[in-house]
Amino acid sequence: MLISLYQMQPISGDAAANLSKIAQAAAAASDMGADLLVTPELSTTGYALSPDQFAEIAEGRDGDIVGALSEIAAEFEIAICAGFAERDGEAVYNSAVLVRPDGASEFYRKGHLYGEAERAAFAPGGDLPHVFDFAGIRTGMLICYDVEFPEYVRTLALAGAELVLVPTALPAGPISRRVADMVVPTRAFENGMFIVYADLCGEEGALSYSGRSVIVGPDGDELARAGTRETLLVAEIELSAYDDCRKQNPYLSDRRPTLYRL
């Protein structure tokens, strides 16, 4: 299976413009034979908005943004994972959706909010990330900061996840860069899974993004890596190619939780 990743410069508060950019990436990825396009955290709205702006732009799961993503997926016959501001009653969540060409969808709400700005704008998701089937591969979603908590990623691995999609908005900086360069490959290796880590890039308001998006294999090796500008990556995901890796590093089966239960 071919997986694509769109490292994207967002346009603040302009869902139509961002959806147009995602559609162009979906068309290109589909032409290359990709089955899935993963885009960044809040890629449909931009990330650097105020709480009031997020409250105004947020939509339900049956809103125009998810509907437009479904139409793009159907038109180009490619599944799309994208971030959006989700409204549920009075609460607003930092969410991700995966839409399939047939109209089916999966949703996830960010569990670990980063910094005062996110905590002012969003409610934290309260459900554990779930695992679903995508093209025969057990798949889950996280968002940005979530992947930096090893026990949270491990919950997906123990539930059988083989592929984890991580839309992110990683800020630029020497410390943040270690997340993309070191933490994400380590999470893939220690859990024997593929991770697709899709970052924003460029500048948005006062924020600068790291870029450095990456697709990582279960052995921790990079299958594709972006720089700091807009980029479309494509990599092949083949589970059987890593059977020996999992046999040599059987972390999941050799765990002894009674030794480190909190």
Q: For the residues 8-13, what does the mean pLDDT come to? A: 97
Q: Is 41 assigned a catalytic role?
A: yes
Whole-angstrom distance, CA of residue 1 vs CA of residue 3 = 7
Percent of the chain with pLDDT over 70: 100
Q: Is the pTM of this model over 0.95?
A: yes
Question: Which one from 21, 41, 118, 162 is the annotated catalytic residue?
Answer: 41
- First-residue to last-residue Cα distance in the chain: 39
- Catalytic residue from among 21, 81, 86, 144: 144
pLDDT, residue 261, reads: 74
Kind and range of the H or E run holding 17:
helix 15-31
pLDDT tens for 24-69 read: 999 999 999 999 999 999 999 999 999 999 999 999 999 999 999 9
What pLDDT does 260 receive? 85
Catalytic, out of 21, 86, 110, 162: 110
Non-local (6+) Cβ contacts of 126 within 8 A are: 109, 111
